[in-house]
């Protein structure tokens, strides 16, 4: 075995390992939390749009001599016919009777009493997964509440969530790559005081046992230099005793 060769590995490599690993773990945690937040946020935003559409339909209901009327505003039509939202379906029913809309749209179970809350559910319609919102609207002089349902396919939600997740993954990958590139520079700059001490010791003669200067030395190296200076003082005292004996 060769002597004089360090067997403990590179200090720079160790520092990089301890720095890059936590960054990678943090990126993983952020990815998991971010994916959950993205999925939840995308769902909440789209549910708000569905709720607004169902509320717009509910507010347009009226009673004309016992006949339920529906006067949809252009804004509601815009939400229902937006191509970016994939396929959107709706139905307006009184009891089991469908007044308008898609007659075979899956129905959500609601409480018998009229409700102002929105009820959400997921189902399948025409071979696609759909998200449905339902709200009960009370119309004057009509005993049974009118049930309004609006549904949309989930393709738009999945695309939006996928695009956001890809963007998050790209940002995290860029973070890890940037950290891996900058950390060696930071480690080398951090170890620069050690290089200066090494150069100072290499320039010394064999009989120069004066203490090393602590000027400009980081506090973390203070104890090491103090211990080294103490060792130099002991060597100087030992050599002085040998010279006196001689």
The tokens for 117 are 């809350």
Q: pTM, whole model, 2 decimals?
A: 0.64
Share of the chain above pLDDT 70, in %: 81
- pLDDT per position as a tens digit, 140-172: 777 778 888 999 888 888 888 999 999 988 988
Average pLDDT, the chain: 79
Report the 3 state secondary structure along 162-183. Answer: HHHHHHHHHHHHHHHHHHHHHH
Question: For residues 65 and 33, what is the distance between their CA atoms, to the nearest angstrom?
Answer: 55
Average pLDDT, integer, range 39-57: 88
Q: Give the 3-state secondary structure percentages of the chain, helix then strand then coil, rounded to 5.
A: 55, 20, 30
Give the separation between CA 56 and CA 90, rounded to whole angstroms. 12
Higher pLDDT, 194 or 42: 42
Q: Which two tokens stand for residue 54?
A: 């169902």
Pairwise CA distance, residues 98 & 104, whole Å: 9
């Amino acid at each position: 075995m060769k002597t004089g060769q360090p067997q403990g590995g590179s200090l720079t490599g160790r520092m990089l390992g301890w720095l890059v690993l936590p960054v990678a773990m943090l990126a993983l945690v952020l990815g998991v939390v971010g994916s959950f937040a993205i999925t939840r946020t995308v769902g909440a935003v789209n549910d708000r749009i569905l709720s607004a559409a169902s509320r717009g339909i509910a507010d347009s209901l009226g009673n004309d001599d016992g006949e339920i009327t529906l006067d949809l505003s252009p804004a509601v039509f815009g939400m229902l016919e937006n191509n970016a939202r994939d396929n959107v379906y709706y139905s307006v029913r009184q009891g089991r009777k469908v007044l308008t809309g898609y007659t075979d749209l899956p129905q959500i179970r609601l409480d018998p009493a009229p409700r102002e809350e929105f009820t959400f559910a997921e189902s399948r319609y025409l071979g696609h997964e759909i998200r449905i919102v339902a709200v009960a609207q009370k119309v004057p002089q009509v005993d049974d509440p009118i049930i309004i349902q609006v549904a949309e396919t989930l393709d738009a939600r999945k695309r939006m969530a996928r695009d956001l997740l890809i963007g998050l993954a790209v940002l995290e990958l860029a973070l890890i790559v940037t950290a891996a590139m900058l950390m060696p520079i930071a480690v080398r700059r951090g170890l620069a005081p050690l290089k200066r001490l090494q150069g100072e010791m290499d320039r010394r003669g064999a009989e120069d046992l004066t203490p090393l200067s602590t000027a400009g030395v980081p506090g973390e190296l203070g104890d090491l230099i103090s211990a080294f200076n103490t060792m130099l003082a002991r060597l100087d005292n030992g050599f002085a005793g040998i010279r006196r004996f001689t």
